[in-house]
Every structure is written in C-alpha cells, then in structure tokens.
Amino acid sequence: MVKYKKDMETIVVENTGNIEGKIAKEVILTPQEMLDKVLMCNRIILPVGSSIKVHSHNPEAEIYYILEGEVSVVDNEQEVVLGVGDVVFTGNGDKHGIKNIGTSDAVFLAVILK
C-alpha cells in the first residue's frame, strides 16, 4: 500500500482531554490501514508551549520519535529534554507526557501499539 501526503487527514485538537494548548495530528496510517495491529500512527505538530499531559498506557504502549524541535518529556517520574532523533517508549502502565520547550514547532512521530 502507498499513501500520499495529500491523502492524510490532519486533525487539530485544542485544550481538551490530555492536550494543553494546541496540537495538529497528521494521520499517517489509520488502524484499519495497518490491519488493526496498531492503534495510531500520527505525525504530531506541537507548537511552542503546548503539551500532551502526563498519562499512562496499559495495556497498549506508545513510541514518541522526535523529528524536529526540543521537548521536555516525562518518562514515569523522570523529566528529560529530547531533540531530533531521540525516542521514548512507554508501556505496561508507565506514564509519559511531552511539552514543546523550544522556540519553534516540535514535530514527532507517535505510534500506539496494541
């Protein structure tokens, strides 16, 4: 299967649920396109100061792979700064959150695994 960028839906979410500020979620592949083996595969654009609040994953797991910018990530009780090429994996009830602490949009790949 090939999917072109022009065919990817972008969803903007602002100040709701886990979102503080605003994010844009570019749906790279839907769960159905991935044969329901993965719950989410999105490219997330996180403007300066925006965040996804700390939350847990159980039984699923999530990967954040940083593509652009500088972010502060909570990985359980530890807070770290990540940049381009860094990754965080969260599962088994562990908690994570992410905030853009840079001077431009942060962009990352978010994949939720079943």
Percent over 90 (pLDDT), the chain: 96
pLDDT digit string (tens) for 6-54? 999 999 999 999 999 999 999 999 999 999 999 999 999 999 999 999 9
Q: Which residues contact 71 (CB under 8 A, 6 or more apart)?
A: 46, 81, 82, 83, 98, 99, 100, 101, 102, 106, 108
Higher-confidence residue: 57 or 99? Answer: 99
In the chain, what are the domains?
5-113 (2.60.120.10)
